[in-house]
């Protein structure tokens, strides 16, 4: 790993060493702002706990005591696992850049937990959301935005950050594949469905006067729509379609995309590539969804279920 511009002597204090780590995440891993903020929150919590000692000098016993204390405070196993994962990445950075000679997290396995199962919409509910949730808004432009966004999220499985960073030029290339820049700057190609392309093209034509480089412009056309702005649009779409807005989110649409593909026989490896998962283990959460449905089918239809 390339050394950051921060000298070893500059990171003896907790604030300095955390900033050095966050700088590395931004410059070398192209970590998103939300990711860096999550790391910062986890590291600063541990830094406060070990104070007045520096987080850079924490021992394995400090980690052990911290995890026990957080468990007693009621922190969930999942949150404990995330905190420990953040600390592991942090201390590996210190070890690799010779700021430390050991990794205090090495003997601390990340607590196991069962990932929560996705709650996808049914195929019929997706059709209802598209048919009723993307038309008749007070602002005609919102019809175009919501149609293009929901079509793209459901037919490509994009993350919301990937959707909002799409350039308007993506519809100018008459190709069947859409180039997407995902986490860590990794690029992948996903099929550009006909309906999604048509909706995106209609939006670009409507927005011609804005002269924006983004497929989904924000209030300032030279900047993309924010996540908060998009959430308001999706909330309105859910209400118009008759859904509880709590059930509809970009993450739910991504889960629906993945679940419906698997239900129709898609290969798990192909799904991994489409979703942009670096590790197949992340994609395997969807096998739990299928497993639950198979159990339900047996319990409902098997003649000896009782």
Handedness of CA 184, 189, 193, 199 (dihedral sign): positive
286 is catalytic: yes
Catalytic residue among 147, 197, 254, 255: 254
State yes or no: is 254 an active-site residue: yes
Q: Tell me if 155 sits within 8 A of 168, measured CB to CB.
A: no
**235 a catalytic residue:** no
Q: Is the CB of residue 39 less than 8 Å from the CB of residue 29?
A: no
Nearest CA among 219, 220, 176, 208 for reference residue 194: 176
Q: Tell me the three state secondary structure of residue 159.
A: coil
State residue 74 phi and psi, 5-degree precision: 100, 10
Catalytic residue among 70, 82, 147, 277, which? Answer: 277
Q: Which of 40, 92, 142, 183 is catalytic?
A: 183
Q: Which two tokens stand for residue 133?
A: 């949730």
181 has catalytic annotation = no
Which residues fall within 8 angstroms of residue 202, CB to CB, at 6 or more apart?
144, 147, 148
Instruction: Give me the catalytic one of 82, 147, 159, 197.
Output: 159
Cα diameter, the chain: 72
Catalytic residue among 39, 66, 99, 286: 286
The one catalytic residue among 64, 141, 173, 251: 251
Which residue stretches of 207-284 are H helix?
Answer: 227-240, 250-263, 268-275, 280-283
DSSP state, residue 56: G
CA–CA dist 24, 3 (Å, integer): 9
Question: H or E stretch including 180?
Answer: strand 177-181
Residue 186: strand, helix, or coil: coil
**Would you call 66 a catalytic residue per the annotation?**
no
Active-site annotation holds for 99: no
Terminal alpha carbon distance of the chain: 59
Q: Which residues are catalytic?
A: 159, 183, 251, 254, 277, 286
């Amino acid at each position: 790993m390339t050394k950051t511009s921060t000298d070893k002597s500059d990171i003896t204090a907790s604030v300095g060493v955390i900033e050095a780590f966050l700088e590395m995440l931004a410059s070398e891993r192209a970590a998103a702002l939300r990711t860096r903020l999550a790391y910062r929150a986890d590291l600063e919590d541990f830094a406060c706990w070990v104070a007045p000692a520096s987080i850079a000098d924490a021992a394995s016993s400090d980690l052990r005591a911290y995890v026990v204390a957080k468990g007693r405070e009621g922190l969930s196993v999942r949150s404990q696992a995330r905190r420990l994962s953040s600390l592991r990445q942090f201390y590996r950075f210190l070890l690799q850049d010779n700021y430390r000679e050991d990794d205090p997290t090495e003997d601390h396995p990340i607590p196991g937990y069962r990932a929560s199962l996705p709650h996808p919409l049914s195929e019929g509910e997706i059709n209802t959301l598209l048919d009723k949730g993307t038309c008749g808004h007070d602002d005609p432009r919102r019809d175009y935005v919501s149609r293009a966004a929901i079509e793209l999220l459901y037919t490509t499985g994009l993350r919301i950050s990937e959707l909002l960073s799409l350039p308007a030029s993506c519809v100018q290339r008459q190709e069947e594949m859409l180039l997407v820049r995902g986490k860590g700057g990794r690029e992948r190609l996903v099929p550009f469905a006909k309906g999604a392309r048509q909706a995106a093209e209609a939006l670009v034509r409507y927005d011609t006067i804005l002269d924006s480089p983004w497929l989904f412009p924000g209030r300032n056309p030279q900047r993309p729509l924010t996540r908060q702005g998009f959430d308001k649009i999706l909330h309105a779409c859910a209400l118009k379609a008759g859904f509880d807005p709590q059930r509809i989110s970009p993450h739910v649409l991504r889960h629906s995309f993945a679940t419906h593909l698997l239900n129709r026989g898609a290969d798990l490896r192909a799904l991994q590539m489409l979703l942009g998962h670096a590790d197949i283990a992340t994609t395997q959460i969807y096998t739990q969804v299928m497993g639950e449905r198979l159990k339900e089918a047996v319990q409902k239809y098997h003649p000896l279920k009782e």
